[in-house]
Amino acid sequence: MLPLTIPEAFAAVAARRPDHPFIVFGDAEISYAKAHDRIGRVAAGLARLGVARGDRVACYLGNCPEFLWTWFGVNALGATLVPINTAFRVDEARYPVEHAGARLLVTGVEGFETAREVYRRGRALAELVVVGRGEWDRGIAFDDLADEAPVSLGGRAAPDTVATLIYTSGTTGPPKGVMQPHRNYVLTGEGFRTWLDLGPDDRLMTPLPLFHINAQAYSTMGALATQATLILLERFSVSRFWADARRHGATQANVIGSMLALLAKAPATRHDRDHRLRLLYGAPVPGDLVEPFERRFGVTLLEGYGLSECTFGTILPLRGVRKPGSMGLPRDLPARAIANAIRVVAADGRECEPGEAGEIVIRNPVMMAGYYADPERTAEAVRDGWLWTGDWGYRDTGGYFYFVDRRKDVIRRRGENIASGEVEAVLDTHPAVLESAVIGLPSALSEDDVVAVVVPRPGATPSTEELQIWCAERLARFKVPSRVVLIDALPKTPTAKVQKDRLRAELGGTR
């Protein structure tokens, strides 16, 4: 078991395995010892710029080693990292920077124009730090920042010190800054090692962005807790995913459900099993995808459930009963005596019976410390020690949990609740459909119309009637889309999640 702060945990592993590779990025392979030195130097440079215990430092970077040096260097000073979604434009990026009162903003050349405007309009930012070489008229070069003598990685943070503020959109109101302490990251890394039975020779690959809790808590901290290697991809690519896995010798990878669906729909090749990957972890994993995907690619799919607010949700057991379509059993960590309680609660406050859908609520010791500077929404989300997730699901008689939908994405039609994911799963099996998103739009007859937004496969042009008949043969009539919109590509976040709010805004004014 590791020390319960991120920098001290890293220092402990670097002392045990100094020459073992910590990160693989492109053609670069960086050992734990070299990473330890780099983190210490970045921390010293940040301290020279005035960063101290309790400060916040914003990071507007894509996947690269410098993101990790910044994160761990900030934490080594007892300060807090504020990761910013790189898809954000000026006003979107400015909100978390201003709300958190960030002292510095670390950016890359690609994001510099946005970062400079955030700096220009901001009140608290003292400086920009820029990764990479380019023509820029403001800021300090990251390489110059990291040219200081390294500082110790221990002693300035406690297990309950807030390591990150992860801003996540709510159903209403501005984004919320999830306060995640150091101990939660270390415990999640140890849990990931346990749940997936990982060892020091494993190589964990992630195409997911480092500003997201998945790549941070599961892949990065999982690699650290396992004393293994993190393979960091710049982004997800259907055409390069298996080639990257082969090239880097990946043994485990994290993905999300839409990525799995796209990989499954790619044309079969003779290289489909030419890799070392044995485990893919992701969510959600469509139940009917599991068996053919595992057979084709020679991997095991494990579905899990977690949130920015709580990384200890559920996971399918690696050994034991794996129920396709289920998100598994509560995540426990016996080595740390961590038990996890999960319930499904109806609108009237009673606990739902098996098979009855309601809101998923969680209680365990690995939950957020609250929403930063937002006591009202913290009190709304955490009640009597229970986290109310805003997710809709159910459990079966065996204690396995199933995800239905985000509460805000549940469509109300003819007095019935419709899970958009259920309709999407049916549409996605149509041979002419590449992927789909289903939303509810206000109906002239009150409640919602079910609207399907569909991306056809190349060369295909399915008709509305064809897709409606397909759904009607497989779903109750009230679930069949009343309208189908064909589109070239779905708007997505950098984590490949469909931006349904954007679809609602774009389609809401038309009938």
In the chain, the amino acid numbered 287 is G
Q: End-to-end CA distance of the chain, in Å?
A: 58
The model's pLDDT over 42-101, given as tens digits with 9 standing for 90+, comes to 999 999 999 999 999 999 999 999 999 999 999 999 999 999 988 888 888 999 999 999
DSSP state of 311: S
Q: Residue range 268-279: average pLDDT?
A: 96
Fold adopted by 32-182: Rossmann fold (3.40.50)
Q: Residue range 203-209: average pLDDT?
A: 96
pLDDT, position 285 = 84
The answer to whether residue 172 scores a pLDDT higher than 70 is no
pLDDT, position 249 = 98
> DSSP letters of 334-372?
GGGTB--EEEEE-TTSPBPPTT--EEEEEE-SSB---BT
Specify whether the CB–CB gap between 1 and 335 falls below 8 A: yes
Two domains, one topology: 32-182 and 334-410: no
The answer to whether residue 171 scores a pLDDT higher than 50 is no
The model's pLDDT over 458-485, given as tens digits with 9 standing for 90+, comes to 999 999 999 999 999 988 788 899 999 9
pLDDT, position 169 = 66
The answer to whether residue 109 scores a pLDDT higher than 90 is yes
SS3 for 402?
A: strand
Percent of the chain with pLDDT over 70: 97
What are the angstrom distances between the C-alpha of 371 and each of 75, 306, 368, 375, 383?
Answer: 19, 17, 8, 7, 13
Q: Is the CATH code 2.30.38.10 the one for domain 334-410?
A: yes
Mean pLDDT of the chain: 93
CA proximity to 250, closest of 190, 321, 191, 201 = 201
- pLDDT band at residue 414 under the 50/70/90 scheme: low
Segments making up each domain of the chain, as ranges: 32-182, 334-410, 414-507
pLDDT, position 448 = 82
Helices (H) and strands (E) in the chain, counts: 16, 26
What are the angstrom distances between the C-alpha of 339 and each of 109, 312, 383?
Answer: 44, 10, 18
- pLDDT band at residue 492 under the 50/70/90 scheme: confident
pLDDT, position 475 = 85
pLDDT, position 101 = 97
The model's pLDDT over 173-193, given as tens digits with 9 standing for 90+, comes to 688 999 999 999 999 999 999
Q: How far apart are CA 458 and CA 362, in angstroms?
A: 42
Specify whether the CB–CB gap between 477 and 444 falls below 8 A: no
- pLDDT band at residue 510 under the 50/70/90 scheme: very low
pLDDT, position 206 = 98
Contacts of 174 (CB under 8 A, 6+ apart): 95, 99
The answer to whether residue 489 scores a pLDDT higher than 50 is yes
The answer to whether residue 170 scores a pLDDT higher than 60 is no
The answer to whether residue 511 scores a pLDDT higher than 70 is no
For domain 414-507, the CATH superfamily is ANL, C-terminal domain (3.30.300.30)
pLDDT, position 446 = 54
Percent of the chain with pLDDT over 90: 79
In the chain, the amino acid numbered 146 is A
- pLDDT band at residue 445 under the 50/70/90 scheme: low
- pLDDT band at residue 379 under the 50/70/90 scheme: very high
Specify whether the CB–CB gap between 167 and 96 falls below 8 A: yes
The answer to whether residue 425 scores a pLDDT higher than 90 is no
Q: Residue range 155-178: average pLDDT?
A: 86
Q: Residue range 426-434: average pLDDT?
A: 94
The model's pLDDT over 301-336, given as tens digits with 9 standing for 90+, comes to 999 999 999 999 999 999 989 999 999 999 999 999
Q: How far is CA 273 from the centre of its chain?
A: 27
> DSSP letters of 427-484?
HTTSTTEEEEEEEEEE-TTSSEEEEEEEEEPTT----HHHHHHHHHTTS-GGGS-SEE
pLDDT, position 415 = 61
